[in-house]
Structure 1
Amino acid sequence: MRTILVPVLTFAGFCSAFPEPSRGWRASGPGDARSPCPLLNALANHGYLPHDGRDIERDTIVDALEDAVNLDRPWSDIFFQEALSTVPVANATRFSLHHLSQQNAIEHDASLSRPDVFFSPHQDVFDPAVFAETRSYWPDPVITVRQAAAACAGRVRTANRTNPAFELNRAGAPASLAETAVYILAFGDVGAGTVRRELVEHFFENERLPFELGWEKSKFALTQKHLEDMSGRVAAESDALLGEAAKMGISIDAQRPLVRLEL
C-alpha cells in the first residue's frame, strides 16, 4: 500500500474490430437513467447496456465491459458488486445508472467532468466548465501520465478551495485516481502511459467511444492489476508534482492542510 499527498480534508496498443452495426450511438433522452461515470453512460448510448440505463444485471454489465473495452470479467464483476452497494434495496441483484450518483461511493468530489454535489445534484450530466479546467492540463496532442496526474490534482485543489463541504473519503480518493487511470487504460498505450488527447476529449464531451477517430479496443484484457498499477503511476506523479511545488515555495492550498491518503 502506498501513500500519496493530496490537499483534502478528511478507470495500449489498439487492435480489434469496430463494433457491430447494432452498436450504433444514440444520445440519452428523457426518462433515460445516466450516471457520474462517462464510460457507463457511453456504453448505454452505444447499446452495450440497456439504452434506458435501468435494471442492469451482472451478466449484462460484465459482457458490456468486455465487448466494448475488453475489461476482464473479474474486474467487471468487482465493479458490479460496488454498483449494487449504491442501490437502496436489501439484497439487490440489479442496479440502474442513476444509483451511482450516491456520494462517496463510485461518485466523488473533484470529478474531471462533473461539479461537486455541493454545487449541483446533477452528477449524471457533463459540465463543460469543469472539463475545461481538466483539459487545460493537457497542452499536447498526447497526454502523458504526468499531465493526467496534473489534471487530477488540479481538480482536487480547485474543489478543495471552492467547496466548503469538500471530501474525498477512503472510497472517493481511490475512485478519483481510477477515473484518470481508466481513460489511459481504455484509450491509450498501457505500457507507455500515454493517450491521444482527441480520443479522451471526444469520449468525455460526447459520452461516446471514439471509434470514428480510429480507436479500437485493447487487444488484451484489462485487469484489476492494470488499474492498480496505472493508479499507482498517477499517484506517484501527483506526489512528484506536490514535491516540486513545495521545493519552489509554492503553496498548494493556503486554506486547508495536506493530509495523507492511502491507495
Structure 2
Amino acid sequence: MQLPLLAPALLVGQVLGQTHDISRDDHAWAPAGPGDFRGPCPMMNTLANHGFIQRDGRNITRENAVNGLRDGLNFNPTLSNIMFDQAIIANPEPNATYFTLDQLNKHNLLEHDASLSRSDAYFGNNHVFNQTVFDETRKWWQGPIITASMLANSKVARQLSSKAFNPTYVFTLVTEEFSLGEVVAPVIAFGDTENVIVNRTLVEYFFENERLPTELGWTRREDAVSLETILHATDTIRNATRLYTEPINSLSKRKLGRNPHFG
C-alpha cells in the first residue's frame, strides 16, 4: 500500500524492514546489498532480490510472504500460509509474527546437509551459493530438459557425497520431506508440474543468479500453484529416488524371509 505522504511511507518501510524505493516497485532484479539478509533458500532469496518480499530480507510477516509468493510465483494463499508456518519457527522469539532470511540459516532446523547448491555446515558457509556443489548436482542433469529421474539422481548423489565426506552428516525423515520440496521447487516455479519436467537453462540461470529467468522468456504461470500441485510433484520425485525397480506391491508380496540366498 502506498501512502500519500513521504514521511509515513518511509516509516512504514522501516517498520517492515526496508526503505520505500519507488524505483524498485516494478520488481526489477537487484542483488543483496551491505546489511541485507539472505538465507539458504534460493527461491526466497530470489523473491527478495526482485522485491516480492522485503529486499533486505528482514521482518517477513505472514502477509508479506503470502503476497510475495502470490505475486512472484502465483502460489495460492493456502500453500503460502503453510510455507510461512514452516518458516516462522526459525525465529526464536516467543509468539513471533515475522522471520528474517538469515534466521533460516540455523543448521538442522530447516537448513540441512546435502543441499543441491550449498555446502554442508560442517565445511563452513551453509547458506551462500557454492558453484562447486552446484556443479556436482547438475552433472546428473543430462539433457536440455531435466526430468524427475534426473532430479532424483542429483538429490541421492548429493546425500551420498555428504554422508561419505561429512563426519557430522544428519538427514532425518523430516529432513527428507524438506529436501523433496526443495528439489522440486524449480519445477514448480519454471516447469511442467504435471509431468515434473523443467528446462535446464532456466534452472541453472535461477540457481546461479538467484534471479527469475524472465530474460530467458519465462513468465509467471497462469494457474495458481496449490498444495495438491506440490504433493504430486514431490511424490513423483520420491518415487524416482528409489534404487530398486520393482513396484511396491510386488515387493510386499514376495516371501523375502524364505530366501536362503544372501550373496
Q: Which residue of 2 aligns with 1:108?
A: 112
Question: What amino acid does structure 2 have at the position aligned with 1:159?
Answer: S
Question: Contact between 2:57 and 2:101, CA under 8 Å: does it hold in 1?
Answer: yes
CA contact (8 A) 2:48 2:55 kept: yes
Shift of 1:70: 0.8
1:152 paired residue among 138, 149, 155: 155
* 8 Å CA contact retained: 2:76, 2:225: yes
TM-score by length of 1: 0.82
Amino acid at match of 2:186: Y
Given residue 67 of structure 1, which amino acid in structure 2 is its aligned partner?
Answer: D
Task: Report the CA distance shift for 1:21/1:50 in structure 2 as closer, same or farther (over 3 A).
Answer: closer
Paired letter, 1:212: E
Equivalent residue, structure 1, for 2:95: 91
Q: Is residue 35–residue 98 contact of structure 1 (8 Å, CA) maintained in 2? A: yes
Q: Show structure 1 runs of 4+ deviating over 4 A.
A: none
CA 229–165 in structure 1, closer or farther in 2 if over 3 Å, else same: same
Does the aligned pair in 2 maintain the 1:144–1:193 contact within 8 Å? yes
Please tell me whether the aligned partners of residues 119 and 133 of structure 2 are also in contact (alpha carbons under 8 angstroms). yes
1:138 to 135, 141, 146: 141
Q: Deviation string for 1:113-151 (max 9, x for gaps)?
A: 00111111x333100000000110012011011111111
Residue 223 (structure 1) aligned to one of 215, 222, 226: 226
Matched-pair contact (CA < 8 Å) for 1:104–1:169: no
Q: Distance in 1 between matches of 2:53 and 2:174?
A: 25
**Larger RCO of the pair (alpha carbons < 8 Å, separation 6+):** 1
CA contact (8 A) 1:104 1:171 kept: no
Percentage of identical aligned residues: 39
CA distance in 2, matches of 1:221, 1:215: 16
Aligned to 2:79: 75
Tell me, yes or no, if structure 1 residue 186 matches structure 2 residue 189.
yes
Q: CA RMSD in A?
A: 1.3
Q: Larger radius of gyration, structure 1 or 2? A: 2
Q: Which letter maps to 1:61?
A: A
Letter in 2 for 1:127: N
Say which structure is richer in helix.
Answer: 2
- Judged with a 3 Å threshold, the aligned counterparts in structure 2 of structure 1 residues 49 and 21 are, in CA distance, closer, same or farther, namely closer
Equivalent pairs, count: 222
Q: Is the 8 A contact 2:119 2:127 kept in 1?
A: no
The runs of 5 or more residues in structure 1 that have no matched partner are 1-19, 245-263
| Cα distance, 1:81 vs structure 2 | 1.1
